[in-house]
Amino acid sequence: MTTLPPWAERPSRVGALLKGLLLTLITVGVLFPIYMVALTSLSTQEAVTEAGGLVTVPSGLSFAAYQELFAGGVVTRSVLVSLGVTLVGTAISLTVTVLAAYGLSRPGSLLHRPMLFLVLLTFLFGPGMIPNYLLVSSLGLIDTYWSLILPGAVTAFNLVVMRAFFMNIPDEVTDSARIDGANEFRILRTIVLPMSKGVTAVIGLFYAVGYWNSFFNAVLYLNDNAKWPLQVVLRQYVLQGQSLIVGQSGVGTLPGQSLPPSLAIQMAIVVVALLPVLFVYPFVQRHFTKGVIIGAIKG
Amino acid sequence: MLSDHAKTGPAGDLTSPAGTGTSKDVRKRGSRTRRARPRPFGSRLKRDWQLLLMALPAIGLLLVFHYVPLLGNVIAFQDYSPYVGIADSPWVGFTNFQWLMFDESFWDATLNTLTITAFQLVFYFPVPILLAVLLDSVVRPRLRLFIQGIVYMPHFFSWVLVVTLFQQMFGGAGLLSQTLRDHGYTGFDLMTNPDTFLVLVTAETVWKDAGWGTIIFLAALAAINQNLYEAAAVDGASRWRRLWHITLPGLRPVIVLLLILRLGEALNVGFEQFFLQRDAVGRDAAEVLDTFVYWRTLLTGEWSYGAAAGLVKGLVGLVLILISNRVAHRFGEQGIYKRS
């Protein structure tokens, strides 16, 4: 059942038990808060009242919180905003990054060195929050969704990881296509990319998660709360527990919801913020173990 | 061309994002072209224009959104007003920096930042190492993959989400308080207590990132020669002696490298985590340099002052990174860029 090497002594019973206990504790430590939040979001008002708050043992289940959230209003809108920004942003970032990683993957090509230097130098010094804000504002991007996408569209780090991967593809593979007259775009699309599915998936996940989680850029650049992405809504209504009616600006409200949001609804917002990550993650996870992102950590 | 890369090793390129063996390659390349006489610009353009075109969008974005705002830092030497603009705002020399040096709240924020870094070095930094050793000892591959999948996951949650989850567990209305009250004890609120703030943020960081942090140590563990373990076991070394004499020395280079790099980033403790909790916990404990810049500028409109603080932080950070890389090189490690 195990692949213990022949020279290793069998673990002692106490040792094995302790190890198992520790691992269980760690796993439960990660999963329990998520379980509790999900269960509370699916509980009836009575179950929440009976538990005196968060529900840990299922009693009455209902989808009421989700029905209310998606009946149109602040949360529905913010989910759509977050989804849109994530899809468009990831598409742009991934395209730009793949192209540049390939374009910079051949040392000795024209302007290769200064361009690479430009990319690498961004590791050492960030421009800082205030100048960033001034730039975004002078480009007229305040209160546009582009302010959530363009400033972080290319991460030098992702670009460099991808480039390193492309550089490991042997020249012979692409050379024959080049001799047959294929241009670089075609080589990238038909030969290099199919060989790089893993790294593309991982970098895509990094970008997508970044956009889905984007919070501070929205706080900084979006004054109009009708444009808020989900993370800002999560902070406002769950972390700070504000009432879901946003009176003065006349933003859409939850029908029949004038009190501070009930716990179930708050937890449902948390689940909605969590769910896409939970869904996409298992499909990309297997690439982590293949060493694709070892480089990703060392930065 | 590729034979050059082959020499840096197939994995070598992946494991050094900044270096990626480039400077070396370029230099070799340079010496070769000197001998072989460079091709004229026109013919290189004809050969490489497609590659150039591909790199252009990314380079353009970096220029506009990284290098242009870098220049925007000049407002730190001005009395900038958004209504007047950079071109017409009066220059004030180093006045903003002088004010900054006598600003108690700036030094408080600096001290908080360094305290958090130091605390996390002691209480966060070893966690991924220990966790990696523990995970590595799980022999059943499927079980190990399963646990890895779970502990990596929180890395992909946003800070808003992580802080919210902690609030639900340890806040005033959280599960722990709720359970304590049910049993007749008084509840407590970890989320608003400045005295335990260091513990709180470190616990959050451990929950979110310790699992993900194991990846690099797991890779280092996998690279340790298994024959060493066998030889030691045959010679009668116990499990713990093997851990001490083989596993730890095997991890040492990675530990040293990450430690040095973390010191280079001493002024960066992450922004959102503190931004989110500053109001609940209070400025005295939760104000770090980044949040200082934010609140001074965007709430009071002291643009130049905030930019000056940001610039100081950036420059000191740069110096720290350069020093830490020098030290990394001294230890025979690569650092984030190569020795030149």
State the Cα–Cα distance between residues A257 and A237, nearest whole angstrom: 13
Q: Name the 3-class secondary structure at A246.
A: coil
Q: What pLDDT was estimated at residue A119?
A: 92
State the Cα–Cα distance between residues B142 and B125, nearest whole angstrom: 27
State the Cα–Cα distance between residues B103 and B112, nearest whole angstrom: 15
On chain A, the residues whose CB falls within 8 A of the CB of B216 are 294, 297-298
Higher pLDDT, B321 or A24: A24
Closest residue of chain A to B299, computed from CA coordinates? A220
Q: Which residues contact B326 (CB under 8 A, 6 or more apart)?
A: none
Q: Name the 3-class secondary structure at B224.
A: coil
Q: Are B256 and B331 in contact (CB under 8 A)?
A: yes
Contact B1 A107 (CB under 8 A): yes
Sign of the dihedral defined by the CA atoms of residues B34, B38, B41, B45, in that order: negative
On chain A, the residues whose CB falls within 8 A of the CB of B190 are none
Q: A179 CB near a chain B CB, below 8 Å?
A: no
Report the helix count and the strand count for chain B, using DSSP H and E.
19, 0
Q: What pLDDT was estimated at residue A261?
A: 62
Taking every pair of C-alpha atoms in chain A, what is the biggest distance, in angstroms?
74
On chain A, the residues whose CB falls within 8 A of the CB of B167 are 239
On chain A, the residues whose CB falls within 8 A of the CB of B271 are 216
Query: What is each CA distance from A78 to A252, A260, B218, in whole angstroms?
Result: 11, 18, 39
Residue in the block written with tokens 């090509």: A109
Of A8, A99, A134, the CB nearest to B233: A8
DSSP state of B266: T
Q: Name the 3-class secondary structure at B64.
A: helix
Higher pLDDT, B296 or B118: B118
What are A43's strand-pairing partners?
Answer: A61
State the Cα–Cα distance between residues A222 and A242, nearest whole angstrom: 19
Interface test with B, best of A102, A112, A120, A130 (most B CBs within 10 A): A130
State the Cα–Cα distance between residues A186 and A190, nearest whole angstrom: 6
Mean pLDDT of B84-111: 91
Q: What pLDDT was estimated at residue A155?
A: 92
**Tens digits of residue pLDDT in B257-268:** 888 888 888 888
Residues 50-69 of B with CB under 8 A from A: 50-59, 61-69
Q: A223 CB near a chain B CB, below 8 Å?
A: no
Q: Which residues contact A70 (CB under 8 A, 6 or more apart)?
A: A76, A79
On chain A, the residues whose CB falls within 8 A of the CB of B29 are 107-108
State the Cα–Cα distance between residues B158 and B308, nearest whole angstrom: 29
What are B91's strand-pairing partners?
Answer: B78
Closest residue of chain A to B158, computed from CA coordinates? A213
State the Cα–Cα distance between residues A299 and B203, nearest whole angstrom: 23
Q: A192 CB near a chain B CB, below 8 Å?
A: no
Minimal C-alpha gap between A128 and chain B (Å):
6
Minimal C-alpha gap between A59 and chain B (Å):
17
Q: Are B175 and A37 in contact (CB under 8 A)?
A: no
Q: Name the 3-class secondary structure at B194.
A: helix
B50 band by pLDDT with thresholds 50, 70 and 90: very high
B338 band by pLDDT with thresholds 50, 70 and 90: low
**Tens digits of residue pLDDT in A15-62:** 889 999 999 999 999 999 999 999 999 988 888 888 878 888 888 888
- Find, among B91, B161, B295, the residue nearest to A129 by Cα: B295
Higher pLDDT, A249 or B310: B310
What are B95's strand-pairing partners?
Answer: none
On chain A, the residues whose CB falls within 8 A of the CB of B33 are 108
Residues 194-213 of A with CB under 8 A from B: 205, 209, 212-213
Minimal C-alpha gap between B47 and chain A (Å):
8
Query: What is each CA distance from A161 to A206, A279, B17, B20, B209, in whole angstroms?
Result: 12, 25, 6, 9, 20
Q: A275 CB near a chain B CB, below 8 Å?
A: no
Closest residue of chain A to B133, computed from CA coordinates? A19
* Most confident segment among A146-150, B26-30, B301-305: A146-150
Residues 61-90 of A with CB under 8 A from B: none
Contact A160 B150 (CB under 8 A): no
Contact A291 B168 (CB under 8 A): no
Q: Are B289 and B114 in contact (CB under 8 A)?
A: no
- Find, among A50, A27, A65, A90, the residue nearest to A271 by Cα: A65
Any idea where the domains of chain B sit in the sequence? 2-77, 95-330
Residues 165-224 of B with CB under 8 A from A: 165, 167-169, 173-175, 178, 181-182, 207, 211-213, 215-216, 219
Reduced to 3 DSSP states, what percent helix, strand and coil does chain B have, rounded to the nearest 5?
A: 75, 0, 25
DSSP of B9-50:
-HHHHHH-TTTTTHHHHHHHHHHHHHHH-PPPHHHHHHHHHH
Amino acid at A212: W
Q: Are B318 and B309 in contact (CB under 8 A)?
A: no
Q: What pLDDT was estimated at residue B334?
A: 64
State the Cα–Cα distance between residues A195 and A146, nearest whole angstrom: 32
- Find, among A56, A91, A28, A119, the residue nearest to B337 by Cα: A119
Contact A167 B20 (CB under 8 A): yes
Q: Name the 3-class secondary structure at B186.
A: coil
- Find, among A115, A127, A211, the residue nearest to A163 by Cα: A115
Tokens linked to A284: 């990309």
Contact B219 A294 (CB under 8 A): yes
Question: A84-102: buried (b, 16+ CB within 10 Å) or exposed (e) per residue?
Answer: ebbeebbebbbebbbbbbb
Q: Are B52 and A111 in contact (CB under 8 A)?
A: yes
Mean pLDDT of B80-98: 89
Taking every pair of C-alpha atoms in chain B, what is the biggest distance, in angstroms?
86
DSSP of B79-139:
T--TTT-TTTSPB-TTHHHHHHHT-HHHHHHHHHHHHHHHHHHHHTTHHHHHHHHHHHT--
- Find, among A84, A231, A92, A206, the residue nearest to A144 by Cα: A84
Q: What pLDDT was estimated at residue B33?
A: 45
Tokens linked to A163: 């480039």
Minimal C-alpha gap between A226 and chain B (Å):
19
CATH domain B95-330 topology: MetI-like fold (1.10.3720)
Query: What is each CA distance from A15 to A29, B12, B245, in whole angstroms?
Result: 21, 37, 20
**For residue B337, how many other CB atoms are within 10 A of its CB?**
21
Mean pLDDT of B36-63: 87
Domains of chain A: 13-62 (no CATH), 67-298 (1.10.3720.10)
**C-alpha dihedral (A86, A89, A93, A95), degrees to nearest 10:** 100
Residue in the block written with tokens 């992405």: A229
Could you tell me how many CB contacts below 8 A there are between chain A and chain B? 324
Contact B233 A9 (CB under 8 A): yes
Minimal C-alpha gap between B244 and chain A (Å):
16
Considering chain B, what is the average pLDDT of its residues? 84
Q: Which residues contact A110 (CB under 8 A, 6 or more apart)?
A: B41, B44, B45, B47, B48, B49, B51, B52
Question: Which positions of chain A have pLDDT values less than 50?
Answer: 1, 245-259, 295-299
Q: Name the 3-class secondary structure at A8.
A: coil
Q: What pLDDT was estimated at residue A225?
A: 84
Contact A216 B272 (CB under 8 A): yes
Contact A234 B161 (CB under 8 A): yes
Amino acid at A275: L
